[in-house]
Each structure stands twice: as C-alpha cells, then as structure tokens.
Amino acid sequence: MARFPYPFQLSVFLADNFSSPESVNGWSNKSVVTEFILLGLSSSQDIQLFLFFIFSVFYGAAVLGNILIILTVIIDSRLHSPMYFLLSNLSFIDVCQATFATPKMIADFLNEHKTITFQGCMSQIFFLHVFGGSEMVLLVAMAYDRYIAICKPLHYMTIMSQRVCTVLVGVSWTTGILHSASHLAFTVNLPFCGPNKVDNFFCDLPLVIKLACLDTYVLEILVLTNSGLLSLICFLLLLISYIIILATVHHQASGGMSKAFSTLSAHITVVFFTVFTPVLNPMIYTLRNKDVKEAMKKLRNRHVGSKEVF
C-alpha cells in the first residue's frame, strides 16, 4: 500500500492519477474502493445469533420508548412547556441516532458477508456526527432551561419562550451538521485503494481514514481535536450550569436539591454513543418524572377506553 508522508509526494501521486484518462473522480479505476467490509462484533455464529436478539430488543425499546415520549408530549397539553419541548426533540434525535446504523448491524448478524457501499459508509459517518453533535448541544440547551427554571423562576416563561426554544433546537441541529460536514469534507476525497476492512459494526471515522493510501496521522489528530473540542465545550457548559444550579438551591428546600440532583444525574448518565443512549433517555428523563408518567397513564386509559367503545 502506497503511503505519502510528505506533501510533495502526495501531490505527485495526485497529478499522476488525475492526468490518467482511465481515472474516476481523479483516481485510477484500479485504486477505487467501492465497498467496505464490516468485521462486526464477533465471528462466532452462536454469539452473533445471541447478539441479534439482544440488539433487536434494545433497538425496539429505543425506538418505541422515544416515540412514546414524543407522542405523549404532543398529545398532552400539560406537557406543552419548554422543558418537554426540548425533551421531545432529544427523543427524536435518539430515534435517529438508533436508526442510522443499528438496523443494518442487526441484519448483518444473520449475514455471512457484511459489506457496505462507499456511499453508505460516508452516510453513516455523516449521520453519526450530525446526531451525536446535535444531541450534545441539545443537552446543553436543556441544562440552560433547568438553570433558568431553578435560578430565575419568575422570568422563566419570558426567557424560555417558544421562539427561544426553537432557536436552541435549530442551533443544536446546525452545530451537528457543521460538525459532521467538517469531518466529511476531507474524508470523501481520501484515496482508498486497497484495504477495506473496518473493525467495527459500522463505519467509524477514525477506523475508516486509517484505510486511506496516505499518511493519515494529521487527519486523525484533526478528527480527535474536532470531536474532542465539541465534547469538552459541551461538558464544561454542563458542568458550569449545574454548579450554579446546585449553589443556588443549596439553602433551599430538600425537594429543590433532589430535583436538581435528579436532572444532573440524568445528564451525567447519558452516553453519546451507539444504540444504548436512546434506550437510556426514556428511563432517565421520563420514567422518573411524575408529570410524564401521569400523562402516559392518561394516554393509555384513553386508548383502552377507545377499544371498549368499539
């Protein structure tokens, strides 16, 4: 496999390939990788069958749980508040995050040959970082919402207006898209001319760029810096917001402290990766919330009542 540690060597290689009449998108037909092989989580058929059932259950719970949250917030007018508006958007992101790669992974447990097209691989990378980046920023927005609710309760509805909530959601999606585009901009143009085995169940960006036919050390550093910087900023904002919240409620009633700790533990528990995140969020944010549980009971009773009528 050809590698080019120095820029002038890479430029010579580019010139040679772009000048070839048999080139495709600037690279020789012989050097273009059209698909990647996903090695998955295990090569054992028994383990893969076991994982098929386990991940099917997790995926079903993730999608159904978060869709239930979205429907509950939409249907019950008592939940038409900034906090639940942000929560329903978080659930929507979780549904998307669970769906971008998990169904293919589940299907691949039953397939001997686990392959994905180049376009499909780039799509997975794009959506992974869109949903992951959007969720991190949205969690910061939810922390800001709790900060206003606890520290400035008299001005809460004025500050957290529908317009502000919509802007916060828009900023989270915009950040996620820009974050993902910054990764994808250089990934799609990398020369993949040989190895095409990805040691994962989806196209993980650091593993994919290592397959390129050039020295990817600088690119790997840029990827880590990009993702790490966004994660660090979001973490620091979450940390600062909850330090302020806890300091504010320190001398208040124990109920306020309990509520603050409950929300803080929820944010800490959420992990921004794979299908398990969407499974956790319904339990963390909803099943421990009295208002949402009552709304779900009301929705269930209404559904049972409609069945009895018919």
Mean pLDDT of the chain: 78
pLDDT of residue 266: 57
What pLDDT does 178 receive? Answer: 94
Identify the burial level of 123 via C-beta atoms within 10 angstroms of its C-beta, where 0-12 means exposed, 13-18 middle and 19 or more buried: middle
Instruction: Say whether 28 sits in a helix, a strand or coil.
Output: strand
Supply the pLDDT for residue 304: 65
Q: What is the pLDDT of residue 199?
A: 83
Give dist(CA 36, CA 43) in Å, integer. Answer: 17
Can you list the pairs that 14-22 forms with residues at least 24 positions away whose Cβ atoms lie under 8 Å? 17/191
pLDDT at 289: 58
- Quote the pTM value: 0.74
Confidence (pLDDT) at 186: 83
Residues lower than pLDDT 70 in the chain: 1-31, 251-293, 295-296, 303-310
